[in-house]
Amino acid sequence: MKMIKHTVKSALKISAYMYPEFCAKTHYYIKFKKKLNLTNPINFNEKIQWLKFNELNGDIYTLCADKYKVREYVIAKGCGEILNELYGVYDDPMDIDYRALPNKFALKCNHGAGYNIICDSKASLDIEKTNKQLSKWLKQDFSSHFIEPQYKKIDRKILCEKYIENERGGFPEDYKFYCFNGKPYAVMVCMEREKGTPKFYYFDMNWHPLPFEDTVELINTNSYPKMPEGFNNMKEYAVKLAADFKFVRADFYLLNGKVIFGELTFTPSAGLDVTLQEADAILGSQLKL
């Protein structure tokens, strides 16, 4: 079975270069057991797939998908104060002077998603293993995994940023604003990530829970999270950063009321989010192509 899955993945990766639309339709069918409609997309995941072939090749998407270059965009939009502190930028892991770094830091590659190494104690970091992992990531064309062209032309780098933690020594809350035609419509809040079982809530811009299955279930079984101090500030930043796009998810952290920029995301879950059901229809109705 593992051999079959590996063969399928390899075949899809090869076809991504030669037949990207076929590959996208195959991924979509595997996830949802239905055909992808690119002629008249209706739901959110379908419309994200449509954007891949009709919008995301533009230079502005390459710039803003780049976790390093996006800093230029954030500054140009008058939001430079929310950027996390940057310790260094490297072309090769061997360029990293670990001795000069603080005890805690975050390493990431700039050309995709999931390329993160969080170091909460430099003394326990396996530097050789870390460098091997970073080298492996730098060689990967992330754009080909699930047809995400905004990552294709990024000049690959390694970033080292300040380690962000709350007063409990855990990860701060995560706020992801779904913005349509320059306006934030919904925010996904990720809480208790440090416990290993994060909770995801969806709210509108007045902090009313949206009727998404996972949010309703959480609210029925957990205490209701209050609107945090700094929420309206985040919303204002989302408006500024989303102004140029039909859709973008503007991601922030909130630390003691201070807003910290995370990233701009154009293809959440690569347009293959199986956890969204009601959300797929509701968010899809907001995205005007």
Residue 2 has pLDDT above 60, yes or no: no
* pLDDT for residue 149 is more than 90: yes
- Residue 16 CB-half CA count within 13 A: 20
Q: Are 191 and 173 in contact (CB under 8 A)?
A: yes
Average pLDDT of the segment spanning 262-272: 97
| Intra-chain end-to-end CA distance of the chain, in Å | 40
pLDDT digits (tens, 9 = 90+) for 15-30: 566 689 999 999 999 9
Cα separation values, 46 from 129, 271, 287, Å: 39, 7, 11
Tell me the CATH class for 173-266: alpha beta
Query: Lowest mean pLDDT: which of 18-22, 99-103, 216-220?
Result: 216-220
What local confidence, expressed as pLDDT, does residue 109 receive? 98
Between vectors from CA 162 to CA 156 and to CA 166, what angle results, nearest 5°? Answer: 135
Weakest mean pLDDT among 52-66, 127-141, 204-218, 262-276: 204-218
Percent helix, strand and coil across the chain, each to the nearest 5: 40, 20, 35
174's CB contacts (< 8 A; 6+ apart) are 189, 190, 191, 193, 251, 252, 253, 262
Residue 262 CB partners (closer than 8 Å, separation 6+): 174, 176, 251, 252, 253
Q: Where are the domains of the chain?
A: 173-266
Count of other CB atoms within 10 angstroms of residue 30: 11
**What does the pLDDT read at residue 167?**
73
From CA 272, how far away is CA 258, in angstroms rounded?
32
